[in-house]
Structure 1
Amino acid sequence: MSASTPPPPRTPSVLPFPPKVYERGNKRLDEVLDFVAFSARPMPLVTLLDEAPRRIVDILGCDVCSLYLVEGENKLVMRGNVGFSRSALGQIRLNVGEGITGQAVEYLRPIISDHAETHASYKYFPGLEEERFPVFLAVPILGKQGPVGAIAVQREATPFSDPDVELLSVLGALISAGIRHAELIDTQRERSSFARRAGGGTRKVTLPGRPLVPGTALGAIAAPRRPPQRPSNVPRAAGEQEQDVRLLKVAFDVAQKAILALNERAKGLAKVGKEAAFLGTYVEILGDMRFRELALELTATGVGIPSALGRVAREATRTAVSISRDPFLEERARDVEDLCDALSMLAATDKRAELPSKAVLVGDGLSVFDLLISARAQPCGIALSERATSPRTRILLELLGVPAIVDVQGLFRWSSDGDIALIDADHGLLVINPSKSEIAAIRHARSRDR
């Protein structure tokens, strides 16, 4: 055979072990691959919190899946769940090292138990009824600089296998990337990483809080308005005095109708009950003709409405503190002061004192003053800082009846008037300057519900 003659074609040999293609049909493999594709997509944090546990339940064939996030210095908060009531979201909290899940995060290793209630670290939460699912597996979710959360799955009877532990640990790594991309701000550890831009406004940030009134809201941030701290000492002209008296009378009528309506609403709310009894004090104060007459008499002298009501409030405080030292009267004096502030705002003619309508209100607390003043603007949601510790806060938020979260640390560091905010009071998250996809998602959900 010459060098230019091509060699004869080779007959392909039959391989004794041909490669196997895994077509769709293997349920667990299909769901794992779908989870990988799902986790690779950018998405709002709440989508990850809802969808990941649902998919994990299908993959592992379990009854419960809880997704915890590390927040603050040492806290694990349940932000996603399938299997328990949604009211548990944002409320179930563990310290790192507490409970089986907290211990898994502390050790950075999976922990498994076929009878969780007998485990030395078991943490019982009244009302959760997790004793129905004693087979327990918890794995930490690891990030670049330590744990970012944990996944806890539970079954009624069938123990988890070693492959289950290995698979859940890998799924946790995929969730970790999604949490990192969601820009959940840990104000305790990342203050220097997310500086505000000069001139107001921030990059998109997500602040965790504690949900109180469920629901979602989207609007511009506004701080509750307060009455002027330094009333004018310039005497009012005769015509202005008469106008002030008329405005104050109208303010009394508006406040009385609003308080009576709130009191009736409180009686109809099962969750509120006797805890709203303090509203009766406001009904009594507004029905006290001596209180009303004194305020109107002082206003008629030309001192102006803020000064007149300020004197009434100071007189009530002086009587309670200096003379009687009665705790009941001291609290009543604070209620009188709160009510006088509200009356002053209700009688104001300055439009700059009014709140924008459909705003997201942010503040350090909520009082009856805020219900009387802020409710007129029909806020779409409320976010309160960690300073909102008054026992009346929950009652007032229930009465206002809009999505609300509390205990939002770093609230004023990251927000300012005019920023767009999304309140997710189902998971307990406040998103400042949300992305277009998050805004579209909430609008889609609203249209679907309608």
Structure 2
Amino acid sequence: MSDAGDEDRTPGGTLVATPPRGQLAKVLDYLGYVAKNRPLVELLDEAPRRIADCIGADVASLYLLEGDGRTLVMRGNVGLPRSAPGRVRLEVGQGITGKAVELRYPIAVDRAASHAAYQGFPELGEERFPAFLAVPVLGTSRPLGAVVVQRRGRGFTDQEVCLVTALTAPISSALRLARLLDDMRGARNRRTGGGTRKVTLPGLPLFRGRALGAVAAIRRPAVNTKETGSDEGSELLQQALDQAERRLRALADRAATLSGDEAAFIDSYLLMLQDQQLRRTAFLHIEAGASIGRALGQVARQAARAASESGDAFLVQRARDLEALCDTLLMMARPDSRATIPAKAILVGEELTIYDLFVTARAQPVGVVLSEAPRPRTKLLVQLLGVPTIADVRGAFRWMSPGDVALLDADHGLLTINPTRADIAAYRAEKRRERRSQPGRRTASS
């Protein structure tokens, strides 16, 4: 029997249409869903789920092309581990998916691992779903990404390939409407800050979750050049040293339970705190009339000069760590209101340091956006901070200004600056659903 609706006549002659069933009903449901103007984050997971349902697939993924025109990133998925979106990346031409985008036509194989272009990701367990179909999502002048469907059983028929290809067309329209692939990032005459324009920037998820808040730049204390030393300077510095040592020991214990050997760098901060030569240098400067800020600044600069002259990578990193530690001690001993972060903000900076765990965290940020690619220690610092975080967000400083409202989606690795009312409403509705399903769980929200 056909899935299409049938027409029958009642005994009185009235024409009665029965609704479509089976696959046709699912396709019509999908088309009705994507036809509506929806927030991008809804589309990223819901479109793959509905496509998988239409085609009878175990896995469906939505890859989007980055602004560089070369990198494909999985932004939406159903059927693979939750950690996959934002982390699975391919170059155009790499893997079956990248090859389909490069050639701009679908590629279907019964056993993906046997294809010459196959690029496996062992952590995903994809070998369970050997039947593989990659279909490029085409824009007006270039590909926008790809839809990939996979399943355990038989391969995909020509009819199914045609169907999935047709189902990518409304995704193309939705993506262009959402301005995810922001061609304007390469435009000239761009001004700093996004104004009131909605802009979505991609990044790498480090700590999952979603958050809404005002943008605030990560700050560091400034040394007051007019400030002089005081009789209480040595006492305040000693108190800060003692407090920092206690907190570092507690932090090291906590970090060891999260990452084991990767937490070893925290011990280096303890060694610096206990370095008697560094302590003597700081106290001697204070006794000579320097302020705490000047004394700690001298310690940091001396280490930086020695590291620069040696050219040793270890000493250079140690000097950077010492600078962050000196900033931390300064804020503990002499809090600087100019370095205060607004409460419940989405923080934007190049990287995280120990300073942010001790000082920035006091403002209870709801999310973090880092412009640089993460270093090995960044992931542990993010875990310890415990808020939604994405990294490697290019153009972060160019497109946003302090005070801009931003929606951080660290589940998919996206930052939306100046989100629409619909975006905010969808975010808040999702948070309400989370609270109802997990009443004991704290969520980052504004």
- Structure-1-length-normalised TM-score: 0.87
Secondary structure of 1:177's counterpart equals helix
Corresponding residue to 1:445 among 408, 430, 442: 430
- Which deviations, in whole Å up to 9, do the C-alpha atoms of 1:342-365 show, x marking residues without a partner? 212333343222111111111111
2:262 equivalent in structure 1: 275
Corresponding residue to 1:400 among 385, 403, 425: 385
Tell me which structure has the larger Cα radius of gyration: 1
Closer/same/farther in 2, CA of residues 36 and 330 from structure 1, 3 Å limit: closer
Secondary structure of 2:122's counterpart equals coil
Closer/same/farther in 2, CA of residues 206 and 283 from structure 1, 3 Å limit: same
- RMSD of the alignment, in Å? 2.6
- Measure, in 2, the Cα distance between the counterparts of 1:403 and 1:222: 15
- Indicate whether 1:63 and 2:63 are aligned: no
- Measure, in 1, the Cα distance between the counterparts of 2:23 and 2:361: 51
- Measure, in 2, the Cα distance between the counterparts of 1:425 and 1:109: 31
- Which deviations, in whole Å up to 9, do the C-alpha atoms of 1:394-431 show, x marking residues without a partner? 22112211111111111111111111111111100011
Q: Displacement of 1:250 after TM fit?
A: 3.5
CA contact (8 A) 1:207 1:429 kept: yes
CA contact (8 A) 1:185 1:205 kept: no
1:313 equivalent in structure 2: 300
What number of residue pairs does the alignment pair up?
A: 423
Q: Displacement of 1:446 after TM fit?
A: 2.0
Corresponding residue to 1:255 among 244, 257, 261: 244
- Indicate whether 1:391 and 2:376 are aligned: yes
- Measure, in 1, the Cα distance between the counterparts of 2:311 and 2:143: 52
CA contact (8 A) 2:137 2:145 kept: yes
Runs of 5+ unmatched residues, structure 1: 1-13
Closer/same/farther in 2, CA of residues 109 and 193 from structure 1, 3 Å limit: farther
- Indicate whether 1:429 and 2:424 are aligned: no
- Which deviations, in whole Å up to 9, do the C-alpha atoms of 1:345-394 show, x marking residues without a partner? 33334322211111111111122222222112121111111x34533222
Closer/same/farther in 2, CA of residues 23 and 142 from structure 1, 3 Å limit: farther
Corresponding residue to 2:149 among 148, 153, 160: 153
- Indicate whether 1:242 and 2:236 are aligned: no
Q: Displacement of 1:318 after TM fit?
A: 5.3
CA contact (8 A) 2:208 2:410 kept: yes
1:165 equivalent in structure 2: 161
Closer/same/farther in 2, CA of residues 298 and 268 from structure 1, 3 Å limit: same
- Indicate whether 1:103 and 2:99 are aligned: yes
2:173 equivalent in structure 1: 177
Q: Displacement of 1:195 after TM fit?
A: 4.6
- Measure, in 1, the Cα distance between the counterparts of 2:429 and 2:397: 29
CA contact (8 A) 1:235 1:302 kept: no
- Measure, in 2, the Cα distance between the counterparts of 1:194 and 1:358: 33
- Measure, in 2, the Cα distance between the counterparts of 1:214 and 1:222: 20
Amino acid of the structure 2 residue aligned with 1:284: L
- Which deviations, in whole Å up to 9, do the C-alpha atoms of 1:82-130 show, x marking residues without a partner? 1100101111111111111111111111111111111111111121111
- Measure, in 1, the Cα distance between the counterparts of 2:384 and 2:40: 29
Runs of 5+ unmatched residues, structure 2: 1-8, 436-446
- Measure, in 2, the Cα distance between the counterparts of 1:154 and 1:193: 41
Corresponding residue to 2:33 among 19, 28, 38: 38
Amino acid of the structure 2 residue aligned with 1:244: G
- Structure-2-length-normalised TM-score: 0.88
Closer/same/farther in 2, CA of residues 376 and 58 from structure 1, 3 Å limit: same
Q: Report the identity percentage.
A: 51
